Structure 1
Amino acid sequence: MDEAGYIWVGHFDENPAGIRCWSATGRLAWSSDGAPIPGLFDRYALNVSGTAAWACPYTEFPLVEIRPNRTDRPVRVWANRVRGAHAVAVHGERVAFYGGYGEEWDRLAYGVLAATAVEPTDVGLLTPPDGPAPGRRRVVGRGSRVYVQAEPFTAWGVFDLSS
C-alpha cells in the first residue's frame, strides 16, 4: 500500500494483468495494460515508495517507475543489466537490487539512475551481521529498504540504501 492508500499488485506467471493499482474502495486506479513496459511477463520485484511503484519485470528486467498521478510521463523505464533480482530499493538516484539466479542468490547490486539506464556502481553479498548468508528466505522492498526474513521466518533483517 502506498502513502495515499492505494494497493499495488504485481501478477506473475504470464498473467496479462501485469501490474495493477486499486483504491482503498476496490476501484481499479491503474493498470499496466498498454503501458510502455518491455517484457512484462512476470513481476520479479515490486516496491512501493511514497506514491510511486517500482518494478523489475521478467524477461528484460528493466527498472520501471510508475506514478499514475503524473500526467506528463506516468511510466519511466531504465534499461538494467541486473537479472533475476527479487527485491529493489530506491533512494533518490540510487538503486539496489537484491537476489539473482544461481550463485547470485545473495547478490546486492548497486547502481545509479542515468538518463535511460541504470549504471552499475558496485556488487556485494547481503549477509546478516551474525553469520553467513541466509538459506531460504522471504524478501520485500519498501522505499529505500530491503527486508529479509530467513528460515525459520521469525525475524526480519533490514538493509537500508539511505544509510
Structure 2
Amino acid sequence: MQPHFGQQRIRCWSATGRLTWTSDDAGIPGLFDCYALNVSGTTAWACPYTDFPLVEIRPDRTHRPLRVWANRVRGTKAAAVHGERVAFYGGYGEERDRLAHGEIMETSVEPSDVGLLTLPDGSAPGRRRVVGRGGRIYVQG
C-alpha cells in the first residue's frame, strides 16, 4: 500500500505488482494527500489531508473493505491502531510533536488524552523522521 500523490487516491498492489484496490469511488472525505499511512499485514490505516479522517482499508475483505471515522485531530503525520485505541503523532505549529490518544467509536474517533513528545531534558526532538507500523509509532531523531 502506498499513497499516490497528485491524483487524489490511495492504491494497493500485490507482491507481484498487480493493482488490487484503489480509492477511486471509495468516498474518502477530503482526500488530497496522505499525511499518515500505516500498513499492518493486509490492513492499511490512513489519515488523509484535508479532513484527516481515520480510514481503515482492507482490500481482502469483500464486505466493507473501507471504513471511515470522523477525526478532530489535524496534521497527523503518523497513526497507530491497536484494537479500538488509536494514537496520532504530529500537528501544525506548536503541536508538531503532539501525541494524541483516542477511542474508535461507531462513527468517530473520540480523543482521550493529548501530550507533547519531548526529549529527557524537556526540549523538542528537533529534526525527526516519524513512521507508524502496526500498533506502534517510531520517532527517529
TM-score category of the 2 structures, normalised to the smaller one? over 0.9
Pair 1:134 & 2:125 matched: yes
Aligned partner (choices 23, 27, 30) of residue 14 of structure 2:
23
Q: Tell me if structure 1 keeps the 8 A contact 2:80–2:132.
A: yes
Aligned partner (choices 61, 78, 100) of residue 70 of structure 1:
61
Per-residue CA distance 1:62-102 (angstroms, 9 max, x = gap): 00000011111000000000000100010000000000000
Structure 1 residues 17 and 83, CA, compared in 2 at 3 Å: closer, same or farther?
A: closer
Give the equivalent residue in structure 1 for 2:35. 44
Give the equivalent residue in structure 1 for 2:45. 54
Identity among equivalent positions (%) equals 77
Give the equivalent residue in structure 1 for 2:81. 90
**Structure with the higher strand share, 1 or 2:** 2
How far did 1:149 drift? 1.1
**Gapped runs of 5+ residues in structure 1?**
1-7, 151-163
For the aligned residue pairs, the C-alpha RMSD in angstroms reads 1.2
Give the equivalent residue in structure 2 for 1:10. 3
- Report the AA paired with residue 66 of structure 1: I
How far did 1:16 drift? 1.5
How far did 1:33 drift? 1.0
Give TM-score, length-normalised by structure 2. Answer: 0.95
Per-residue CA distance 1:109-149 (angstroms, 9 max, x = gap): 11000000001100011224465221111110001111111
CA distance in 1, matches of 2:109, 2:77: 17
Aligned residues: 141
**Gapped runs of 5+ residues in structure 2?**
none
Runs of 4+ in 1 over 6 A off after TM superposition: none
